[in-house]
Structure 1
């Protein structure tokens, strides 16, 4: 099965990352809206706006599409 490409504005589930790059293991996957994608040292990083009104960053490989959205 081919994975769907995630676009800006889409709603995704994701695993939040700490500022040191480690996964926040105590947290369950979150739901949020993808607001930014960029490369850091060759790795795609996603910035997701969560339901608490905060922005989390996560690796693109840890995001899964929930539904299409727009910004």
Structure 2
């Protein structure tokens, strides 16, 4: 499924960015100080919201492609 692959790739990109943010925030002397921390907080919140949206789409895609459990073989 091409759409499934797109979701997987975007989730991986989000994960890499969240990792990068965590590494940047861990620096003892963060350039930009508290202002930069607020930027990171905002970016993190947006990425988490996008992740939740992508997971919802993924579940809907999975459910749409699942055979109907109510249909019985005759």
**TM-score, scaled relative to structure 2:** 0.18
Q: Which has the larger radius of gyration?
A: 2
By percentage of residues, which structure has more strand? Answer: 1
**TM-score, scaled relative to structure 1:** 0.18
